[in-house]
């Protein structure tokens, strides 16, 4: 998969499928590979769209910088814009989950002429939901990594909610999460977390100015991405609709339904 020089680092990206461009951004501490594994980028989308995914700055196989400001929303948007320009994309659908969803929303506010429609899976927390529990969880992880190193920090963090509960109910998934966290680059992890958690708040944005039709897909029992936050976004974004899954893992199992929902929205059915 190719790389391109973007704003002081090498960005790792890929383009799959044919059709109108659909640019999908992953979440905090995730990657292209992780998004594929979690079903956030269903291969069935490649039949209808030219799907562009990329490892954000400090994530996956992309390079990293150490300045916290490089991971704030404006910088993440600038990185996405640079990828648009590198690929010659004039206008595209946007997709994203968590941090990637926040990037997509702010991109749509800064560059509305470049956005057709938006699909947000597990929309980012905004408003009162923005500060907890995700900010405490990830912010605490960053402090632990700085003070104790990655391995000890991960072992301590995994004793906390929601991960400690996963250990009881799904031990194989717990071990997978532990392996994933231990694979992260601590030099990139700390500024990336702080840029999102301690940087400018999404709740300060005027989402009523998002002009693109927007689909919000939320999941109950997801403490990091509360349904209440998705409902707030639905109420603020003029042309938006919210789909709430029956349970937290529903679309991981019923991926055909997820594809049908996304395709139906993007194709205007």
Q: 172 φ, ψ to 5°? A: -65, -40
Centroid of chain to Cα 75: 15
Span 7-15, mean pLDDT?
97
In angstroms, rounded to a whole number, what is the distance separating the alpha carbons of residues 264 and 58? 33
Local structure of 16: helix, strand or coil: strand
pLDDT by residue (tens digit) across 54-101? 999 999 999 999 999 999 999 999 999 999 999 999 999 999 999 999
Most confident of 46-60, 216-230, 246-260: 46-60
Checking if the pLDDT of 253 tops 70, the result is: yes
pLDDT by residue (tens digit) across 98-157? 999 999 999 999 999 999 999 999 999 886 545 556 777 788 889 999 999 999 999 998
pLDDT by residue (tens digit) across 179-197? 989 999 999 999 999 999 8
Local structure of 214: helix, strand or coil: strand
pTM value is: 0.93
Q: Say if strands 3-6 and 9-16 run parallel, antiparallel, or are unpaired.
A: antiparallel
208-224 core/surface letters (b: 16 or more CB in 10 A; e: else): eebebbbbbbbbeebeb
Please report the pLDDT score of residue 131 as a whole number.
55
pLDDT by residue (tens digit) across 183-236? 999 999 999 999 998 888 898 899 999 999 999 999 988 888 889 999 999 999
How far, CA to CA in Å, does 265 sit from each of 101, 153, 250?
17, 41, 19
- Is the Cβ–Cβ distance between 103 and 128 less than 8 Å? no
In angstroms, rounded to a whole number, what is the distance separating the alpha carbons of residues 172 and 216? 29
Those residues with Cβ within 8 angstroms of residue 39's Cβ, 6 or more apart along the chain or in another chain: 251, 252, 255, 258
Lowest mean pLDDT among 28-32, 68-72, 161-165, 239-243: 161-165
Please report the pLDDT score of residue 82 as a whole number.
98
Q: Which domains can be identified in the chain, with CATH numbers?
A: 3-129+200-266 (3.40.50.1820)
């Amino acid at each position: 998969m190719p790389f391109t020089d973007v704003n002081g680092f090498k960005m790792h990206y890929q383009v799959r499928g044919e059709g109108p461009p659909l640019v999908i951004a992953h979440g905090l501490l995730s990657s292209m590979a992780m998004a594929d594994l979690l079903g956030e980028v269903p291969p069935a989308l490649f039949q209808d769209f030219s799907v562009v995914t990329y490892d954000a700055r400090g994530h996956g196989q992309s390079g990293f910088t150490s300045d916290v400001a490089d991971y704030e929303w404006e910088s993440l948007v600038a990185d996405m814009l640079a990828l648009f320009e590198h690929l010659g994309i004039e206008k595209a659908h946007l997709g994203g989950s968590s941090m990637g969803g926040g990037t997509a929303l702010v991109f749509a506010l800064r560059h509305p002429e470049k956005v057709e429609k938006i699909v947000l899976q597990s929309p980012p927390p905004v408003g009162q939901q923005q500060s907890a529990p995700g900010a405490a969880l990830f912010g605490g992880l960053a402090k632990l990594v700085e003070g104790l190193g990655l391995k000890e920090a991960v072992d301590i963090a995994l004793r906390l909610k929601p991960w400690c509960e996963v250990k009881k109910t799904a031990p194989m998934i717990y071990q997978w999460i532990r392996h994933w966290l231990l694979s992260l680059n601590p030099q990139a992890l700390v500024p990336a977390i702080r840029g999102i958690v301690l940087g400018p708040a999404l709740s300060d944005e005027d989402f009523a100015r998002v002009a693109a039709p927007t689909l919000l897909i939320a999941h109950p029992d997801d403490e990091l991405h509360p349904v209440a936050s998705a409902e707030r976004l639905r109420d603020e974004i003029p042309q938006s609709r919210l789909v709430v899954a029956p349970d937290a893992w529903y679309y991981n199992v019923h991926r055909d339904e997820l594809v049908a929902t996304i395709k139906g929205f993007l194709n205007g059915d």
